[in-house]
């Protein structure tokens, strides 16, 4: 008997299983076996209940899994629910707690529930973190499955400091606020030897890259990783001075990228 089933029988509750997705959303897909391990696909194939960021992309992922490891039930019969979003007009932009409890109902009733993001590891730079928090609050065991994260893959490929780093999410869109924030993060990087990681909506990739090249100091090392694990994926690191000198790299406007820098 597996550990997860033993736990469910002892507590009367299922687990929240964090299932990693591929990182090829928006690009030519790689064979799923090249990114997702056989063990992870077997665990995913065993789940009938899902909480997902987007139902359409979740079904596409499960269809790919099914081609490698048959699902425990026909795809159309699986229970797939999307994560709730804050309603417009809510003062603090928070999703009511009961919405998360409703989503976790299968686990509370003793059935394992899969959590799937659009790309990479659930709950890392992903709205699924709120569901994981709710699971802990309700005493539901969280079972993370190993998989790729664009943040850690990019950091590993960058040659920047992988011992001390911080993910800062999205930078402000207003130019003055972004300028101030980038300078603050560069100062922290210099002071603490800490690599800074940020992301952007893909259609603004080039604008952010151009802004970073303009704002950061010439000696700061700036890296960008794009489409890792996908055909044609790449990561390039240069000093800002060398980025300014060229050659210029045109970033795709439909593919996510990770931007990283380390000041000296």
Average pLDDT over residues 77-98: 74
Cite the DSSP H helix spans in the chain: 3-11, 38-45, 55-68, 97-103, 105-108, 129-137, 150-158, 175-192, 205-215, 240-245
Whole-number pLDDT of residue 91: 41
pTM: 0.87
Tokens standing for residue 111? 């059935």
Q: Write down how long the chain is.
A: 264
CA distance 74 to 70: 9
N-to-C CA span, the chain: 53
Closest of 158, 137, 257, 130 to residue 202, by C-alpha: 257
Of 90-94, 182-186, 210-214, 219-223, which gets the smallest average pLDDT?
Answer: 90-94
Whole-number pLDDT of residue 3: 41
Say whether domain 150-262 belongs to CATH 3.30.70.3270.
no
Whole-number pLDDT of residue 89: 44
Residue 256 has pLDDT above 80, yes or no: yes
CATH fold of 3-144? Cobalt-precorrin-4 Transmethylase; domain 1 (3.40.1010)
Tell me the pLDDT tens digit for each residue of 121-159: 999 988 899 999 999 999 999 999 999 999 999 999 999
Q: Which residues contact 164 (CB under 8 A, 6 or more apart)?
A: 192, 193, 194, 195
Q: What angle do CA 103, 109, 115 make, to 5 degrees?
A: 40
* 3-144 against 150-262: fold identical: no
Q: Where are the domains of the chain?
A: 3-144, 150-262
Tell me the pLDDT tens digit for each residue of 158-216: 999 999 999 999 999 999 999 999 999 999 999 999 999 999 999 999 999 999 999 99
Helix 55-68 and helix 38-45, axial crossing angle in degrees, nearest 10:
120
Residue 61 has pLDDT above 70, yes or no: yes
């Amino acid at each position: 008997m597996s550990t997860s089933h033993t736990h469910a029988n002892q507590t009367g509750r299922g687990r929240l299983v964090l299932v990693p997705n591929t990182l090829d959303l928006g690009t030519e897909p790689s064979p799923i076996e090249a990114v997702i391990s056989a063990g992870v696909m077997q665990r995913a194939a065993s789940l009938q209940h899902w909480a997902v960021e987007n139902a359409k992309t979740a079904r596409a992922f499960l269809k790919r899994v099914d081609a490698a490891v048959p699902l425990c039930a026909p795809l159309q019969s699986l229970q797939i629910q999307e994560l709730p979003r804050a309603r417009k007009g809510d003062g603090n932009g928070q999703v009511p707690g009961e919405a998360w409890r409703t989503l976790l109902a299968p686990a509370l009733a003793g059935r394992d529930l899969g959590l799937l993001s659009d790309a990479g590891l659930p709950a890392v730079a992903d709205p699924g973190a709120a569901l994981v928090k709710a699971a802990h609050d309700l005493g539901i065991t969280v079972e993370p499955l190993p998989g790729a994260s664009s943040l850690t893959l990019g950091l590993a490929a960058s040659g920047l400091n992988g011992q001390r780093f911080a993910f800062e999410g999205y930078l402000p869109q207003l130019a003055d606020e972004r300028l101030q924030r980038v300078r603050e993060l560069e100062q922290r990087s210099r002071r603490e030897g800490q690599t800074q990681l940020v992301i952007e909506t893909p259609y603004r990739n080039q604008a952010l890259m151009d802004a970073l090249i303009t704002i950061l100091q010439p000696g700061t090392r700036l890296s960008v990783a794009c489409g890792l694990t996908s055909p044609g994926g790449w990561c390039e690191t240069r000093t800002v001075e060398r980025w300014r000198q060229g050659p210029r790299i045109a970033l795709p406007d439909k593919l996510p990228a990770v931007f990283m820098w380390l000041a000296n």
